[in-house]
A and B are shown apart, each in its own frame.
Chain A
Amino acid sequence: MRNINVKLLTEVVADMCKEANYFLGQDVIAALEKGLHGEVSPAGKEVFKQLLENARIAAEEEIPICQDTGFAVIFVELGQDVHLTGGDFNEAIQEGVRRGYTEGYLRKSIVKDPLERVNTNDNTPAVIHIDIVPGDEIKLTFVPKGGGSENMSAVKMLTPSQGAGGLVDFVVNTVNLAGANPCPPLVVGVGFGGTFEKVALLAKKALLRPLGQTNADPYYAGLEKEMLERINRTGIGPQGFGGRITALAVHIEVFPCHIATMPAAVNINCHACRHVERVI
């Protein structure tokens, strides 16, 4: 048994909010550099140049990469031998978000009610997903998720007879319909299997995988490649200006499903695929 004071969680979450929004990951920067060399469209190349320059300015000046500093989504892997002390675990995380967004000059983008739409002014509440795992550590993953790309995401209850082709068509069509809206070049997270709610979570988790890393199963790695190629043949291109690079990566996460179902979800992320991890 290890005691961890929840005040530590508040501090760590506050730092993660800032870090994720100022510093684009090296995996994404490498993908953008590859895109700059691979893109044939002059307007598309200019977009890659601007995005790389943008990442440099954001890091140097500690200003958000994008003004949409997102909905604070936090994945927690809580070791079962951890004993949390010093207060309410959930509230400690919310306080971390509150502090991080306020101290970090990050935009407050959350409204209290979907219809009344009054801003909560501190970017809370965060969406928190908790898994209990063996061990005495806490792993936190912070994902600020932008609204523009979230709006272009979709869940579809496919039927088993639709097979792999049905999944690929659904993913490519979702990206095709989104066009320029979600700020391509995209990172496309695909959930496949599970239940209606599980598949959406799988799609979000797929966005956490470092760019350039494929699904461990060679079959699904092949499907990722096929989907990426088809998405990049749509011609949408960087920012929708036309080009050969519409997505930087497609990641699939798979889970068993019911004999009657074949759920699929597409969580679209813009090029600013932001996430940071900390282990306490």
Chain B
Amino acid sequence: MEAKRIQVPLTDEVVTQLKAGDSVLISGVVFTARDTAHKRLAQLLEQGEELPVDLKGQIIYYVGPSPARPGRIIGSAGPTTSGRMDLYTPLLLRHGVKGLIGKGLRSDAVRKALQENRALYMAATGGAGALLAKRIKAAEVVAYHELGPEAIHRFVVEDFPVTVINDSYGNDLYSSGRQRFAGE
């Protein structure tokens, strides 16, 4: 299948054109966040405070990269399991986040919030961190430096390969893919 190219920030128009199962190549900025960063972001939103980065229209990538060798942009940088962020994700989607990159199953609440807020959940290949790192053209820590691999990084990516898992229409590749091939 021919991959579709998209640019960040994401608009409703781009989000609604994509369907579960689509191969997508992302270019632009993505922000990284995982367990502890999510907890902190959610706390700030709940307290009505400003976030350390503006996430409206942006993509959050669940990743804790390995350290870069001197002269390199980043180390290995594949996705971590998304489900651990489920608790915080609906809140971030309501706040304007338009895309999520990770791997693995999401909760019903996240899938519903993706539909309500017109956003996408996409999977990058778990365990392909060396390959994915090649598509990251710039990286800097922009918040929570003290969290090490869990800090929020700003990545500039070019043709970053993902597959749409949950689209804004309620479709789910994990369940449709399994149904299609089960029992054969």
Contacts and interface: CB of A to CB of B under 8 A. Distances in A.
Contact of A183 (B23, B126, B147, B177): B126
Interface string B159-184: 00101000000000110111111111
Given A57-B131, A151-B81, A242-B178, A235 B36 contact: no
A107 B65 contact: yes
B104 interface: yes
Interface in A216-237: 233-237
Given A121-B148, A242-B180, A270-B127, A105 B104 contact: no
A270 B103 CA distance: 12
Interface string A124-157: 0000000000000000000000011001000000
B178 A239 contact: no
Contacts of A251: none
Contacts of A69: 66, 76
**Interface majority SS (helix, strand, loop, mixed), chain A:** loop
Interface stretch (A2-10, A60-68, A162-170, A193-201): A60-68
B75 interface: yes
Interface in A191-220: none
Nearest to A58: B130
Contacts of B81: 148, 151, 181-182
B64 A241 contact: no
A47 interface: yes
B130 A233 contact: no
B183 A64 contact: no
A65 B127 contact: yes
Contact of A64 (B76, B105, B126, B148): B76
B68 interface: yes
Interface in A229-260: 233-237, 239-244
Interface in A106-123: 106-109, 117, 119, 121
Contacts of A239: 103, 123, 125-126, 163
26 contacts: A41-B177, A41-B180, A51-B125, A54-B129, A63-B72, A63-B76, A63-B129, A63-B133, A66-B130, A67-B78, A69-B66, A105-B67, A107-B66, A147-B80, A148-B103, A148-B104, A181-B103, A183-B103, A233-B183, A235-B179, A239-B163, A240-B174, A242-B173, A242-B177, A244-B181, A272-B127
A183 B134 CA distance: 20
Contacts of B78: 66-68
Given A64-B75, A233-B182, A242-B181, A57 B103 contact: no
Contact of B177 (A105, A117, A147, A241): A241
A107 B148 CA distance: 9
B173 to A, nearest CB: 6
Interface residues of B, number: 49
Nearest to B177: A242
Interface in A96-110: 105-109
A57 B72 CA distance: 14
B64 A107 contact: yes
B52 interface: no
A232 to B, nearest CB: 9
A182 B103 CA distance: 9
Nearest to B82: A181
A269 B66 CA distance: 19
